[in-house]
Structure 1
Amino acid sequence: MTLAAVAGRAGVAVPSLYKHVSSLDDLRRSVAIESVTELTRVLAAATIGRAGPEAIRAAADAIRDFAHRHPGRYAAAQVAPDGSDPADAELAARAAETLTVLSGVLRGFGLPEDELVDAIRMLRSAIHGFVTLELGGGFGLPDDLDRSYAVLIDGVIAGVELLAR
């Protein structure tokens, strides 16, 4: 993404963009904020009222569906804010909301507090890896991807249950 490309797609001159964003980094941060906010809304809607394995499946499906529908926004939502940069404060706040939703999904397993971050990282890494390979055409075998995805999520659930012991 470049400011020139964005200006071209928006049908405006590059200098006009500077009325709204100060730099390419500022534009990327704004896109990330909107993307994380939208992903969090999708996650919250999918998981509300659910617990245990059902909540993990709903969260995973919501993330996968979001990535398929909005691959660019999904990619933008994967950028971690820089906690030492005041410009990233809003992105950090939106990311914290996402973590709150995921924490709620995983708390239903009775995880000790010190295992929660590990469980969130496991869940996110598994889904992200699968989705990235899927969207990039990395699964060349003719076998059913949905079945493989279900096996992956079952494995994540088993891993979370193991952490909860």
Structure 2
Amino acid sequence: MARAGLTPERLVLAGAELADEVGFDNVTVSALARRFDVKVASLYSHLRSSQDLRTRIALLALAELADTMAADLAGRAGRDALAACGNAYRDYARAHPGRYRAMRGPLDPQTAAASAGVRHAEMLRAVLRGYDLPEPEQTHAVRLLGSVFHGFVSLEEAGGFRHTAVPSEESWEWALDSLDHQLRSRQR
């Protein structure tokens, strides 16, 4: 019989909190069992494995960020939408480093296709509608935005910008301005 109060949803949320505290790579069913002061075996009625837990955390993170992005993008266009989208990624990574790392990992094709990751791509395409890019330029632009957003966040998170007196915030705004300029220059 499952321990009262333990549900897959509660376990995944606790796993996500654990990821933010100790790092996504350190999240296991054993670590989660210690958090609830239960035997590991009692969690297997809710989770298949540590990989199942990690996948569910990734799906949670993708959904949380998609919801945030949707709210932040509402009513915006052009550079304003571009900044809102990028800032959503950056702010989420700062607030939830373990969850952010979780959503950057690979998912099998079926799981990925059913995840909120699809919404991320759709929202990036929505941002790009303000730039009126034809295909395949739009696909290239989606990849460019993802690369810049995730690359900047990853470098910032790793301390890659601490070696200079120029604040990373200035570089972030410069990057957004540069993306906006590049996208405008490629409009039809």
Please, what TM-score do these two structures have when normalized by structure 1?
0.89
1:11 is displaced (CA, Å) by 2.4
Contiguous gaps of at least 5 residues in structure 2: 1-26
Give the partner amino acid of 1:49: G
- For residue 53 of structure 1, the aligned residue among 36, 54, 79 is 79
- For residue 37 of structure 1, the aligned residue among 48, 53, 63 is 63
What is aligned with 2:120?
Answer: 98
Q: Which string of whole-angstrom CA distances, capped at 9 and with x for unpartnered residues, describes residues 4-48 of structure 1?
A: 112212322211121111012211110011100000011111111
Distance 1:92 1:115 in 2: 25
Q: 1:81·1:92 contact (CA, 8 Å) conserved in 2?
A: no
Give the partner amino acid of 2:180: I
Query: May I ask how many residue pairs the two structures share in their alignment?
Result: 161
1:53 is displaced (CA, Å) by 1.0
Is 1:161 the counterpart of 2:184 in the alignment? yes
Distance 2:128 2:106 in 1: 21
Distance 1:50 1:135, change over 3 A: same
What is aligned with 1:134?
Answer: 156
Distance 1:126 1:75 in 2: 16
Q: Which string of whole-angstrom CA distances, capped at 9 and with x for unpartnered residues, describes residues 95-151 of structure 1?
A: 111211111111111111322221111111111111111111111212211111101
Identity %: 39
User: Helix, strand or coil: the match of 1:49?
Assistant: coil
State the Cα RMSD in Å. Answer: 1.6
What is aligned with 2:130?
Answer: 108
Q: 1:33·1:77 contact (CA, 8 Å) conserved in 2?
A: yes
Give the partner amino acid of 2:35: R
User: Helix, strand or coil: the match of 1:102?
Assistant: helix
